[in-house]
Amino acid sequence: MAEQAKGQVAMVTGAAQGVGFHIASRLFAAGYRVLLTDINEAGVKEAALSLDPTGERAKSCVLDVAQESDFSAALDQALTFWGELHVLVNNAAMTKAVSTMELKPDDFKQLVSINLGGTFTGCQVIGRYLAEQGYGRIINMASLAGQNGGTSTGAHYAASKGGIITLTKVFAKELAASGVTVNAVAPGPIDSPMVKELVPAERLPGLLSAIPVGKLGNADFIGDVVEQLARPEAYFTTGTTWDVNGGLFMR
């Protein structure tokens, strides 16, 4: 970790559990002050305290990514706590496996609004602040499902994650001249509660046999990839999608 990045402030959405918590943990371990946000107030408070019982370098905030005002409030919280913000990780997402031909239009709209709409709002609200400061890093959590059409997650999830990859390019172009980079990370199946919920135990051997490396991904490594993209030295990387999928999708 470069010395100049230590002490920077990062905000992570959907950080109460799962991959979001692992991302927040790795950023915290790398020296960042981290604002963990989530719609689950009790869960995100517990998550922040588990990282830092003193509350000096890890704090929590309730944030519903469907609400623009919540992003503004979370930004205000970060500025109140530490006086600055440098990094946003748009991780929060809704996942509900539904077969494509059974998917209801309203369910499609709801999930895309949360996953894709929440990422858009985060990039816009926090990106505007970062651009005003002349520096920032935004990392959006996409997915293998947005690249290969998905398998267990349904059309709504795959479409939302594919849209995130495109939004990443849009905001990368918009904010580059202001010193703000915007990148995405696209994990394949990760050893996480979400994957275990979507893939029953009896189907897991079949999933593993389809992955070239034969294993589920490691959530801490996803956090390490995010931390690399958050570094000041990552200024020359923007508009990209970093694949972490065990060989399931190769460019």
The DSSP secondary structure of the chain, one letter per residue, reads: --GGGTT-EEEESS-SSHHHHHHHHHHHHTT-EEEEEES-HHHHHHHHHHH-TT-SSEEEEE--TT-HHHHHHHHHHHHHHHS---EEEE---------GGG--HHHHHHHHHHHHHHHHHHHHHHHHHHHHHT-EEEEEE--THHHH--SSSHHHHHHHHHHHHHHHHHHHHHHGGGTEEEEEEEE-SBSSHHHHHHS-GGGHHHHHHHSTTSSPBPHHHHHHHHHHHHSGGGGG--S-EEEESTTSS--
Q: Return the beta strands (E) in 31-123 as ranges.
A: 33-38, 58-62, 87-90
Residues annotated catalytic, as ranges: 157
In the block, residue with structure tokens 């293998």: 144
As a whole number of angstroms, the distance between CA 98 and CA 158 comes to 11
Nearest Cα residue to 89 out of 142, 143, 160: 142
